[in-house]
């Protein structure tokens, strides 16, 4: 495959998800905050895993899920992220290749194993995540292939990437190359606690490097330290070209200078597992954006992709999003 004509390059933590059902008591007993992502070390991960029910393993990682969405929409994508050369690393690599996403980041040959995210899905379909970053801490600027960045209309970065130590450098390197090539840079804030951990760095990044910002209500109010969504929405105006802000069942709002679009959520018969909702919203939006659909239709595409992924267990689409979009975005 040549680098020519990529729609989106995703850069993120390459993770294998371990999903299990659990109840609120389980969360309470292990001090987990529902709906959020917490970082855990190998020992903590082992303890939570031992307490969890039987698991379902599947490839995850926020930006990687977004790339799975782009591929399912028949978009052209590539991904940069770090696994170890172990069994779960092989699973991650196999899956992202199998869906047609270019992925060539060399696996780490020593050090921590491939990252895993222990996901408890509660009966209310909310997911609570404990991430052991493992080999992701090895991702550094040397893993950023300039050719891929230059080839992609949009380079998409996940906020979670601010957790492993060297990834921030990789982040800035990618953004700089992208802008030098006249390309766009997108970021998702990922998680309110992630924003708390890295607020000032995020603020600088958004002001200096980001064209398209994805965030949900909790994340965007955390970033700007405001209480109200509207105040946060105003704050985005000064710092990035486009802000696509998701509000769960209230749909999404897209702000681009004076332009504002309020988009209803796509109806879902039964919400089974919200894992990947934000990732797939970004996939739909970025597919639309890189295919000239305009902001409002891009946001609807995001909603359609998110609705598919929350209707089943797991963070990657199970049906062809291209077909869904054709049917629903006529």
Residue numbers of the site for a copy of itself (CB under 8 A)?
20, 49-50, 52-59, 68, 86-88, 91, 94-96, 98-99, 113-114, 314, 316
Return the number of the residue (52 or 210) whose C-beta is nearest a copy of itself: 52
Helix (H, G, I), strand (E, B) or coil at 330: coil
Tokens of 294: 């305009």
Distance from C-alpha of 50 to C-alpha of 59, rounded to nearest angstrom = 20
Tokens of 7: 């729609």
CB of 129 to a copy of itself, least distance (A): 18
Return the number of the residue (142 or 318) whose C-beta is nearest a copy of itself: 318
Distance from C-alpha of 35 to C-alpha of 160, rounded to nearest angstrom = 15
Q: Per residue in 304-317, is it b (16+ CB within 10 Å) or e — as a string?
A: bbbbbbbbbbbbbb
CB of 57 to a copy of itself, least distance (A): 4
Return the number of the residue (15 or 212) whose C-beta is nearest a copy of itself: 15
How far is residue 91 from each of residues 61, 186, 267, 274, 329, measured CA to CA in Å? 13, 27, 33, 22, 33
CB of 127 to a copy of itself, least distance (A): 17
Return the number of the residue (94 or 250) whose C-beta is nearest a copy of itself: 94
Distance from C-alpha of 34 to C-alpha of 52, rounded to nearest angstrom = 15
In 3D, which of 33, 49, 29 has the Cα closest to residue 41? 49
CB of 141 to a copy of itself, least distance (A): 29
Return the number of the residue (92 or 162) whose C-beta is nearest a copy of itself: 92
CB of 193 to a copy of itself, least distance (A): 26
Return the number of the residue (218 or 316) whose C-beta is nearest a copy of itself: 316
> Torsion angle, CA of 194/198/204/205, rounded to 10 degrees?
-50
Tokens of 310: 């929350």
């Amino acid at each position: 495959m040549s680098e020519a004509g990529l729609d989106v390059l995703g850069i993120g933590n390459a993770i294998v998800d371990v999903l299990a059902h659990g109840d609120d008591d389980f969360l309470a007993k292990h001090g987990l905050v529902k709906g959020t992502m917490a970082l855990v070390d190998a020992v903590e991960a082992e303890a939570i895993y031992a307490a969890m029910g039987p698991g379902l393993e599947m490839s995850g990682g926020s930006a990687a899920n977004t790339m799975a969405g782009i591929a399912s929409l028949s978009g052209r994508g590539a991904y940069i992220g770090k696994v170890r050369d172990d069994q779960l690393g092989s699973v991650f690599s196999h899956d992202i290749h199998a869906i047609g996403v270019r992925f060539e980041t060399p696996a780490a040959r020593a050090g921590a194993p491939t990252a895993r995210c222990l996901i408890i899905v509660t009966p209310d379909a909310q997911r609570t995540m404990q991430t052991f970053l493992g080999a992701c801490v090895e991702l550094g600027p040397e893993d950023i292939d300039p050719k891929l960045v230059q080839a992609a209309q949009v380079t998409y970065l996940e906020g979670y990437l601010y957790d492993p130590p060297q990834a921030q450098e990789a982040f800035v390197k990618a953004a700089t190359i992208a802008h030098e090539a006249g390309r766009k840079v997108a970021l998702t804030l990922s998680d309110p606690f992630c924003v708390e951990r890295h607020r000032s760095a995020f603020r600088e990044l958004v002001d200096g490097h980001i064209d398209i910002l994805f965030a949900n209500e909790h994340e965007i109010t955390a970033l700007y330290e405001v209480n109200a969504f509207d105040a946060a929405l105003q704050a985005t105006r000064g710092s990035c070209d486009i802000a696509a802000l998701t509000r769960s069942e209230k749909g999404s709002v897209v702000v681009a200078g004076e332009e504002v679009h309020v988009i209803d959520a796509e109806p879902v018969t039964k919400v089974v597992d919200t894992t990947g909702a934000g990732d797939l919203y970004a996939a739909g939006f970025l597919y639309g954006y890189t295919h000239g659909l305009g902001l409002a239709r891009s946001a609807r595409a995001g909603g359609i992709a998110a609705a598919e992924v929350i209707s089943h267990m797991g963070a990657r689409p199970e049906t062809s999003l291209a077909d869904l979009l054709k049917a629903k975005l006529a």
